Structure 1
């Protein structure tokens, strides 16, 4: 993706940038950087940069105000409920205002995200909710300021909780109406960053959804060379709806306040995080907190980390993402890399991981002990094999196939052993493959699964990929066997520098659905687009339609 210079907010009066440049020679497999980076670190590591000094300070060349109005029209039909929406127009837009050299105000009114592509589905064999990344542009800009709080198992703020619901018929995420939103984000000084966001969603009486107001405040202070400390506050207020009015309901709120410390040493070898978050609700709660402490050390040979996490019984960030609560978790791991003098292998080495969960009522509830070996080739291809030893305890009844079969009873526990093989081919080749295969014991039976992605690059003209997932589950009587299949071919075509077409088809027999999403994009002016998006859902057996929709959208980027 090319970012037009007109969309970049330059700091007026700046005389230098901390930057790095890298070059990749795909023909010879060489990488070179302006600032030397140790081979065990990513090219994007921020610990290694130099100052790019300008002959003259940067000058402000505009008022840094942009208006992005849009007009859209949508028609849809729900065959399951027998409802139909005629072609309905909608209007709205965004505004971007530069406040000072590094502080931006973003405003949105009646935002529309109909052009955003659908999520890539997965076969869910887990007992907990699956995380799907944010794709809407308004929430992606400066998202790192809000997303840097917490970690993968305890996110205090997850923007997809705003204006997104799940369609029970198709399993797809669908939009709920956002009335307006505002976000102030950026740097106040060289060491201070701030993020303020407020969003208001609409009431949908037919769906039984009351409007909600979301407020997020984040403050971050740089300390030492590359470390920082941050404070976050999240508030969701619900509306009380009656026949005549909509008022904020003082008994329906959910709030969170948290403090994070992020460690990043000057040489990039030491990283870590410590945070404490707490939620507040109108009801009485027990231990509504989340605590985490993590440390990682990595040099050219050794890599080790240790993490301790404690999430209380009633920790409930409804605008965040927390798959499970009421546990304590310990997760140390250790790895070592050898660098042989070889024309084939770049590095290789063993890794051992331990992950254990427990709580005060039950004791140990989960345990994983994994032994693995990684090989990275000079071609950038990777091969890793892992032997897994798992113990888990069921808190509630659970169907291991998640297809409506007879569940395993709560209060039972299981010991399973599996072997996993992961392979990534040379990413520079026109044809590439990522493969993840695992086989072994699965609860009371056994399973074999294969997950992967194949890709074909045809220059700048086309990108063709295929996501696939097959899980063969065999369980004893009373429980159900299953053959779970997910196939998702995708085609991205670039006709010219202004015309693009993307088609994504997904067949998922776990949710009994075929989804087709095709999108045409015409960039008729800089950062200004026309979109035509068609989405359809079918039952796999007889191709009976479930839902379909057609969206037209036109936006225009105007710099003032």
Structure 2
């Protein structure tokens, strides 16, 4: 099976890679001019905007990817030492705006405008900021093929105003919300427009409709007129205090009070490398999970919402396979639905160089009743190779502390993720191995996939093999554990999973 996938790579890659990708960064460019003043974000076109030219000629992307958009959009950009300013004038031919939801981060269901940024300009990760025509904001972290993490939140400013034949969006995005190399003066950028009244989705750059709307492989070029400012806001600190009180009325004891101080800090080590620190976090401000009735035999996957774990989260969440992940941050500080206090945590993520990204994490939990204190560590490195491919390595460690027991679990692994420059062929090979005290043999996880994505058809194939003893205590492998009704116990059963689908798309 492994040799078959390698053979497919060898046979198909040269053919697909020879199909030329539209070089959007040569054809679509926008210059951003520097100003020495600030702009009031009020949705009005101030005189300062006259110093720069607008870019327009948005093209159709969905449902048709041919021709200019019926409802055009004009965009201008400026910046100073603190903000990137964006002004967009969105023309419309229908009077009523379609707004299906005013909830934050629900962008694609309403009329709206958005900007996709790739500051490193290596098609590996980026940022999206969007706003609907009634002012609701949305922001997301973006992975190379357009994957999103809407749980990430950033502080930025925007305002929308309405006119007879158009509506205006004005944005101010702080530099400290982005991760970038100030010496790199060419960023990848794209603008998006939702026009639900005409059932059209348009973009600034042209690319086939079979690709994700937020694909980083088809951005235009953002050229800076002057030097890009370094991030001046180096440290952000949020202190807090958790107070609990209790009284035993049966024993007529006096009221007992407990005060637990907490501290969260974010430190910009460099403009593209970030350090997160936390002490005694309680995460009480985090949105709760949706209530879901589980009718399956296996555990359900819920996304991570705690802010400490979200920065550059694709370095961790992009590893492994769906339902077979070597690292799942919700294993830290949670056990069987109960909160396990985290004493402290540190997390370093970002770019060491333009092609090398790093993710490091260490967290210590307290002992609670029968749950022993644990130390969690993780190191992952992701090296970009070729045009849009990468090689990753990961080490995950869980170690019981403050005890004589030698209770530990470790997972090591590597991944090769491949994509042609035009994105028509992508695939991966993954190999992981776990180590636990007293458990040997059948402790590996092997996986591979291939995806052919043309304008006319799409074909996907995948295989997974999980051994009996592949134990990832800090990961997510629910299908490995099965309930044996005869013995009234849970047993581990290895399994192989095969997935194949194909579609033929007709675009009249």
Instruction: State the TM-score, normalized to the length of structure 2.
Output: 0.60
Q: Does 1:339 align with 2:503?
A: no
Structure 2 CA distance for aligned equivalents of residues 23 and 338 of structure 1: 24
Q: CA contact under 8 A between 1:183 and 1:197: conserved in structure 2?
A: yes
- 1:39 and 2:209 matched: yes
1:271 counterpart residue number: 426
Which residue does 2:345 correspond to in 1?
181
Structure in which a larger fraction of residues adopt helix: 2
Indicate the residue corresponding to 1:232 in structure 2.
394
Give the drift of 1:37.
Answer: 2.2
Residue 59, structure 1, aligned to residue 223, structure 2:
no
Q: Please give the alpha-carbon distance, in whole angstroms, between the structure 1 residues aligned to 2:227 and 2:237.
A: 27
* Residue 199 of structure 2, aligned match among 23, 26, 29: 29
More strand by share: 1
1:20 aligned counterpart, secondary structure: strand
Assess if the C-alpha contact under 8 Å between 1:301 and 1:337 holds in 2.
yes
- Who is 1:328 aligned against? 496
Q: Hey, what does 1:222 align to over in structure 2?
A: 384
Q: Secondary structure at the match of 1:208?
A: coil
CA distance in 1, matches of 2:408, 2:255: 33
Is the CA contact 1:37–1:43 (under 8 Å) kept in the aligned structure 2? no
**How far does residue 331 in structure 1 lie from its aligned partner after superposition?**
1.6
- 1:309 is aligned, of 447, 464, 468, to 464
**What is the CA deviation profile of residues 369-428 of structure 1, one whole-angstrom value per residue up to 9, with x for unaligned ones?**
xxxxxxxxxxxxxxxxxxxxxxxxxxxxxxxxxxxxxxxxxxxxxxxxxxxxxxxxxxxx
Say which SS state the counterpart of residue 47 (structure 1) adopts: helix
Contact 2:375 2:399 in 1 (8 A): yes
Q: Distance in 1 between matches of 2:440 and 2:262?
A: 41
Q: Distance in 2 between matches of 1:313 and 1:191?
A: 36
CA contact (8 A) 1:216 1:233 kept: yes
Instruction: Return 5+ residue gaps in structure 1 as ranges.
Output: 79-83, 167-172, 240-245, 341-560
Go from structure 1 to structure 2 and tell me whether the alpha carbon gap of 1:237 and 1:261 turns closer, same or farther (over 3 Å shift): same
Query: Residue 286 of structure 1 aligns with which residue?
Result: 441
Q: What is the rounded CA distance, in whole Å, between the counterparts of 1:59 and 1:220 in structure 2?
A: 27
5+ residue gaps, structure 2: 1-136, 138-153, 157-173, 249-253, 481-493
Partner residue, 1:481 = none
Aligned-residue offset at 1:163: 0.1
User: Match of 1:545?
Assistant: none
- Contact 1:70–1:93 (CA<8 Å) still a contact in 2? yes
The 3-state SS of whatever aligns with 1:3 is coil
User: Paired residues, what number?
Assistant: 321
- Cα pair distance change 1:289/1:27, threshold 3 Å: same
Q: How does 1:320-469 map to 2 (within 5 A)?
A: 320-325=475-480, 326-340=494-508
8 Å Cα contact 2:445-2:467 kept in structure 1: yes
**Structure 2 residue matching 1:251: 3-state secondary structure:** coil
Tell me what 2:165 maps to.
none
Give, in whole Å, the separation in 2 of the partners of 1:90 and 1:318.
Answer: 29
Does residue 1:253 correspond to 2:404, yes or no?
no
Retained in 1: the 8 A contact 2:277–2:347? yes
Q: Residues 231 and 61 (structure 1 numbering): CA distance in 2 closer, same or farther, change over 3 Å?
A: closer
Kept in 2, the 8 Å contact 1:14–1:57? The answer is: no
2:182, 2:271 within 8 Å by CA — same for their partners in 1?
A: yes
Q: Report the Cα offset of residue 165 of structure 1.
A: 2.1
Structure 2 equivalent of residue 202 of structure 1: 366
After superposition, give the CA deviation of every residue in 1:12-41 in whole Å (9 maximum; x if it has no partner): 233121121111123333322111121122
Following the alignment from structure 1 to structure 2, what is the Cα–Cα distance between the partners of residues 24 and 181?
A: 40
Post-superposition Cα deviations, 1:279-322, rounded to whole Å, max 9, x if no partner, equal 00111322100000101111122111111111111100000000
What per-residue deviation string (whole Å, max 9, x for no partner) do you get for residues 466-521 of structure 1? Answer: xxxxxxxxxxxxxxxxxxxxxxxxxxxxxxxxxxxxxxxxxxxxxxxxxxxxxxxx
> What per-residue deviation string (whole Å, max 9, x for no partner) do you get for residues 91-137 of structure 1?
11112111223111111111121122221122212111211111111
How far, CA to CA, are the matches of 2:283 and 2:187 in structure 1? 34
The 1-side partners of 2:255 and 2:496 are apart by 49
Corresponding residue number in structure 2 for 1:399: none
Distance 2:263 2:446 in 1: 39
Secondary structure at the aligned position of 2:315 is classed as helix
User: Which secondary structure does the structure 2 equivalent of 1:27 belong to?
Assistant: helix
Greater alpha carbon shift after TM alignment, 326-335 vs 47-56: 326-335
C-alpha contact (below 8 Å) 2:464/2:496 kept by paired residues = yes
The CA deviation at 1:75 is: 5.6
- Which secondary structure does the structure 1 equivalent of 2:474 belong to? coil
1:135-173 Cα distance to aligned partner (Å, 9 max, x none): 11111111100111101121000000000123xxxxxx3
Q: Any idea what SS the aligned residue of 2:308 has? A: helix
- Are 1:14 and 2:187 matched, yes or no? no
**Normalised by the size of structure 1, how large is the TM-score?**
0.55
Alpha carbons 2:192, 2:202 under 8 Å: kept:
yes
Whether the aligned pair in 1 keeps the contact of 2:393 and 2:413 (CA below 8 Å) is yes
Q: Distance between the aligned counterparts of 2:208 and 2:257, measured in 1?
A: 57
Mapping 1:93-132, distance limit 5 Å: 93-132=263-302
1:300 maps to 455
Asked if structure 2 preserves the Cα contact closer than 8 Å seen for 1:9 and 1:64, the reply is: no
